[in-house]
Structure 1
Amino acid sequence: MNVLRLVLGFALACSASACVVAADDCAPVIEKPWVRAAPPGATTLAGYLVLRNPCSAAVVVTDVESRDFGMPMIHRSEVVEGVSRMRHVGELTLAPGESLVFAPGGLHLMLMKPERALAEGDEVGVRLVLADGRRVFAVFPVRREAP
């Protein structure tokens, strides 16, 4: 009988710790990803998405990576004293339950130095790097217009 209690206790402890790990591994979700198709020979494209934080803690995005682009970055378009400018964004913090919209004319992925020619219908992979070292991956279809 003691062996049965030991086995059941171990199983219960393992399942409880698995629940804790699953809760701690909460990560932001990339929704509606897409890259705007550009003319042949273009060296810079733009990526858009909705980034949602379903977690109970804030999440910090520090960088973007892609094997399909030599220099991906997060940028924000803004008007300063009547002049439109693009600025590199060092990091983004999403509060619990918050969503950020990456859209034309605002926050976006600046995808420079494509590794291959991209046309409508192609797909590229993009990873958002979190402050804790984790990465959130999504496939971005190349499209002429937003989905």
Structure 2
Amino acid sequence: MNASRLLLGSFLFALASAASAATACAPTIDKPWVRSAPPGAKSLAGYLVLRNGCDAPVTVVDVESLDFGMPMIHRTVEEGGVSRMRPAGKLEVPPGGELRFEPGGLHLMLMRPLRPLADGDVARVRLVLADGRRVFAEFPVRRAAP
């Protein structure tokens, strides 16, 4: 009986270790910031660098925030000589790769602020990964890129 318990315990430990190893590595958010806007603005833009130091690709599928009623991920594209914002869709970051959210390109569109945000404030934002994990960062509100 003790041998079967030992085998079962070893199996469960190995299973838990494998699951932990699979989720232990997570991408990181570097250089986060939100561009400040005039009081009463209905949307702000957020920027960051998402780095994937893991051995497997990660896919960003959404964005969430306690400070905005409708956060989205957009990409600026040129259509017929006019710049337009379009939903970015799913974004895959390869192992060892990075994804840059920059003015004029990929960015967070932070709509419907739930509180006034001025220079020096911090917005709370998290990216949602395809596997359900979330990557959180505090985004300082600034007039210009750091």
Q: Distance in 2 between matches of 1:20 and 1:71?
A: 33
Partner SS state of residue 22, structure 1? helix
> How far apart are residue 54 of structure 1 and its match?
0.6
Instruction: Give the structure 1 partner of residue 78 of structure 2.
Output: 79
Answering whether residue 54 of structure 2 is matched by residue 50 of structure 1, we say no
Instruction: Give the structure 1 partner of residue 138 of structure 2.
Output: 139
Which ranges in structure 2 are unaligned for 5 or more consecutive residues?
A: 1-8
Instruction: Give the structure 2 partner of residue 6 of structure 1.
Output: none
Instruction: Give the structure 1 partner of residue 113 of structure 2.
Output: 114
Which ranges in structure 1 are unaligned for 5 or more consecutive residues?
A: 1-9
Q: Distance in 2 between matches of 1:76 and 1:56?
A: 27
Residue type of the alignment partner of 1:27: A
Q: Distance in 1 between matches of 2:24 and 2:79?
A: 39
> What is the identity percentage for the equivalent residue pairs of Structure 1 and Structure 2?
65
> How far apart are residue 122 of structure 1 and its match?
0.2
> How far apart are residue 23 of structure 1 and its match?
4.9
Instruction: Give the structure 2 partner of residue 38 of structure 1.
Output: 37
Q: Distance in 1 between matches of 2:144 and 2:58?
A: 29
Q: Which string of whole-angstrom CA distances, capped at 9 and with x for unpartnered residues, describes residues 31-87 of structure 1? A: 000000000110100000000111111101100000100000000001122111100
Answering whether residue 103 of structure 2 is matched by residue 104 of structure 1, we say yes
Q: Please give the TM-score of this superposition, normalised by the length of structure 2.
A: 0.86
Instruction: Give the structure 2 partner of residue 27 of structure 1.
Output: 26
Q: Distance in 2 between matches of 1:52 and 1:115?
A: 28
Residue type of the alignment partner of 1:68: D
Q: Distance in 2 between matches of 1:140 and 1:28?
A: 16
What are the within-5 Å matches in structure 2 for residues 122-133 of structure 1? 122-133=121-132
Q: Please give the TM-score of this superposition, normalised by the length of structure 1.
A: 0.86
> How far apart are residue 14 of structure 1 and its match?
5.5
Residue type of the alignment partner of 1:113: R
Q: How many residues were matched structurally?
A: 140
> How far apart are residue 119 of structure 1 and its match?
0.3
Partner SS state of residue 131, structure 2? coil
